[in-house]
Structure 1
Amino acid sequence: MGEVAGFDESPVEVEENMGAFLIAANVLKVQPFKLPPVGPLEVRLRMKAVGICATDVHYLKEMEVAGKVVKEPLVIGHECAGIVEEVGSEVKNVAVGDRVAVEPGVSCWRCDLCKNGRYNLCPDVKFLATPPYHGGLAHQIVHPADLCFKIPDNVTLEEGAMIEPLSVSIHACLRAVAGPDTNVLIVGAGPLGLMTMITARAFGSPKIVIVDVDEQRLAFAESLGADKCVKVSADVKDMAEEVVEMQKAMGGPIDITFECVGFSKTMSTALKATRSGGKVCLLGLGHSQLTVPLTAAAAREVDVLGVFRFKNTYPLCAEFMGSGKIDVKPLITHRFGFSQEEIEKAFEVSAQGGNAIKVMFNL
């Protein structure tokens, strides 16, 4: 139990499909998971790697996220990769045996948002592990083939599962137009902040400063290549002083701030620290409502950008990983197998935070 020494990508024969079901608050149970037949444009996948997201932990604790309530047993997990075992009669993009990363959101493709290319905002999206739709922490799932993306030969299935969380950071950097002429501040050194940090570097940002309240997380950020790390306090009274410290650490204007926490204080800090005419990109969803000094930010023409999931990012993620431009392997800090005991332990470790960045299941 606990750390899995290596990651086995070989096929495994399983007599009955099993899934990890969220039954009630803080109750997960591995039990049979019946799949629908494979449709003409679908595939059946043997899941091999599934990561735990903060959203999964929130569902486990609260049985609700952003108004989506778990009302009946739900298979958890949406960061996943696997091997194609069966293809529908009209599938052309993948074949049996292909190693694929799974994009979890199935949009309607009929609404104006979908037709205009912003399918991540589709109001009728069916997203893995978002009630009432089952997720991917199971031996097998059925999924649309066009949302399964082949992984480069030199990219592991574990890394393939990391394409989903990486996609959020890629989408944020594209929204904010990060590049060689943008100095970046990252607020929050949790999994999302660290992922955004290495992504901004891949986009060419020359200087990246990251801030957090946790020295252990900041040390990890430094090991991943942060130019400067700033430890801040949870005390709101220190905000003005901390803003000056962040700007001093940057040694120049802060062009883009990626807010990866989502609290009123952290968002207010981001708005104050960012240069006039700069951008603040909100990724964190810590609080459902924020109170922030927008008038002062508007007077300095600081643009506030929202980020919700991602769109058209999987090919770019795979390319960045395959070329070595982005290495997500250091972020996978804990590995567990697929058993009742290990699933419970894995979610416990992920919920504790600390040195647990990305907790991964090896099925």
Structure 2
Amino acid sequence: MTNYAAVMPTLGTIEISDVGDPTPGPRDAVVKMEAVGVCGSDTAYFTVGYVGDYLVNGPIILGHECAGVVVEVGTGVTGVRVGDRVAIEPGRPCRDCRECMAGRYHLCPDLIFFATPPYDGSLQQYMAVDERQLFVLPDTMSFEDGALCEPLSVGIWACHRAGLQPGDSVLVTGAGPVGIMAAQAARAFGAADVTITDTSDWRIDFAARLGFTAARAGESERNDFDVLLECSGAPTALADGVWRLRPNGRAAMVGMPKQDVTLALSRLNVNELTIGLVNRYGHTWPTAISLIAGGRVDVSTMVTQRFRLDQTVEALLNASQEPASMKAMIAPQQVTG
């Protein structure tokens, strides 16, 4: 069989190439990729070649929000069977280090994460994946729903890092895909009210259609929120947001600005505010699947554009070129020409 992939050989270029059949190792399953969501990190690697300290220094396959169907299993596989529809957690930890043994596998220093240099991602038709990264989807969930378990997991983890409790009043800064997911997770976990701010009128309207209080960034004058989920990455968003928190407020920083952030530590000290940083997620896929399958989080409306594998360039640039865009989805099995 052919195994076409969207390979980025050099900065800003994509070639559709046959990368050969994957060979499953012990505890691996071969997954036929059916849906891959485009993340801002994919676009950054494609356009500028780096995200934070991770630098592209050779050919790479992008994509880490993914789902598909198991078509082959290796030796020792017991958790999935051929024909299972699965959502895929894109990080493979060593499972033996101190962080892994403590349950913090997402902080493993040897974590192999899809589409994080030098490791290839899921924009390929077939891929061998450790069965422990695979989570069987119920029949009510589509492959696109399964792929969106990844950004929803970021939102779930942000709520966890902020210590969100039922009845909390929540401010989400940034109404992009992760901000919308974080807001939905907060509501599902029992937040009394959720306010989302952004600079895009289209995204503000999108958030309002999902039932959130939505406002232009800087125009909300409330300063009695319990929780801040900063998802924009704007350089002043965290510093401005903590002024909106009441005493004993908690914040989670998801969006990562390109420069250092200055905080009013006297304010943090007087009100005993707490800030948690977010590095991906841990143990979130079962919760994500439950929230989507149970109808408590709506991910289907997040997909605003769809592309074939050979349209990967258009998909990667979609967010910058299409104002009415929330999430682009690529179908790896669809290739023309």
Instruction: Find the counterpart in structure 2 of residue 310 from structure 1.
Output: 281
CA distance in 1: counterparts of 2:292 and 2:203, whole angstroms = 23
SS at match of 2:30: strand
Change (3 A) 1:187 1:63: same
SS at match of 2:266: helix
CA distance in 1: counterparts of 2:41 and 2:150, whole angstroms = 13
Runs of 4+ in 1 over 3 A off after TM superposition: none
CA distance in 2: counterparts of 1:349 and 1:264, whole angstroms = 24
1:95 maps to which of 81, 88, 103 = 81
Superposed CA offset, 1:146-202 (max 9, x none) = 111000110001100000111011111122232322000011111111111111111
1:184 maps to which of 170, 178, 181 = 170
Show structure 2 runs of 5+ residues with no match: none
SS at match of 1:276: strand
Instruction: Find the counterpart in structure 2 of residue 207 from structure 1.
Output: 193
1:247 maps to which of 222, 237, 240 = 222
User: What's the offset of the Cα at 1:34?
Assistant: 2.9
TM-score, length basis structure 2: 0.95
SS at match of 1:277: strand
Superposed CA offset, 1:322-360 (max 9, x none) = 111112001111111122xx2121112133362211100
Whether 2:257 is the aligned partner of 1:286: answer: yes
SS at match of 1:264: coil
SS at match of 2:29: strand
User: What's the offset of the Cα at 1:289?
Assistant: 2.2
Contact 1:113–1:121 (8 Å) recurs in 2? yes
SS at match of 1:278: strand
Contact 2:154–2:281 (8 Å) recurs in 1? yes
CA RMSD in angstroms, aligned pairs only: 1.4
User: What's the offset of the Cα at 1:55?
Assistant: 0.5
Instruction: Find the counterpart in structure 2 of residue 151 from structure 1.
Output: 137
Whether 2:326 is the aligned partner of 1:357: answer: yes
Instruction: Find the counterpart in structure 2 of residue 277 from structure 1.
Output: 248
Instruction: Find the counterpart in structure 1 of residue 118 from structure 2.
Output: 132
SS at match of 1:222: helix
Superposed CA offset, 1:236-271 (max 9, x none) = xxxxxx4xx3307xxxx2000100112331111111
Matched to 1:230, the amino acid is A
SS at match of 1:71: coil
Instruction: Find the counterpart in structure 1 of residue 67 from structure 2.
Output: 81
Show structure 1 runs of 5+ residues with no match: 1-14, 234-241
Contact 1:77–1:129 (8 Å) recurs in 2? yes
Change (3 A) 1:84 1:290: same
Whether 2:207 is the aligned partner of 1:229: answer: no
Instruction: Find the counterpart in structure 2 of residue 28 from structure 1.
Output: 14
Instruction: Find the counterpart in structure 1 of residue 28 from structure 2.
Output: 42
In percent, how many aligned pairs have the same letter? 35
CA distance in 1: counterparts of 2:138 and 2:83, whole angstroms = 13
Taking the TM superposition and a 5 Å limit, the aligned residue runs for 1:41-80 are 41-80=27-66
SS at match of 2:75: coil
CA distance in 1: counterparts of 2:282 and 2:47, whole angstroms = 28
CA distance in 2: counterparts of 1:287 and 1:35, whole angstroms = 38
User: What's the offset of the Cα at 1:140?
Assistant: 0.4
2:305 maps to which of 331, 334, 343 = 334
CA distance in 1: counterparts of 2:185 and 2:47, whole angstroms = 30
User: What's the offset of the Cα at 1:213?
Assistant: 1.2
Contact 2:35–2:144 (8 Å) recurs in 1? yes
TM-score, length basis structure 1: 0.88
User: What's the offset of the Cα at 1:35?
Assistant: 4.5
Instruction: Find the counterpart in structure 2 of residue 257 from structure 1.
Output: 228
CA distance in 1: counterparts of 2:240 and 2:55, whole angstroms = 32
Contact 1:18–1:138 (8 Å) recurs in 2? yes
Matched to 1:191, the amino acid is P
Instruction: Find the counterpart in structure 2 of residue 195 from structure 1.
Output: 181
Task: Give the aligned length.
Answer: 332
SS at match of 2:9: strand
1:300 maps to which of 271, 274, 280 = 271
Matched to 1:287, the amino acid is K
Instruction: Find the counterpart in structure 2 of residue 238 from structure 1.
Output: none
CA distance in 2: counterparts of 1:33 and 1:302, whole angstroms = 50
SS at match of 2:297: coil
Contact 1:93–1:146 (8 Å) recurs in 2? yes
Matched to 2:326, the amino acid is I
Contact 1:101–1:160 (8 Å) recurs in 2? yes
CA distance in 2: counterparts of 1:291 and 1:32, whole angstroms = 48
SS at match of 1:275: strand
Matched to 1:229, the amino acid is A
CA distance in 1: counterparts of 2:45 and 2:102, whole angstroms = 31
Matched to 2:194, the amino acid is I
Change (3 A) 1:294 1:29: farther
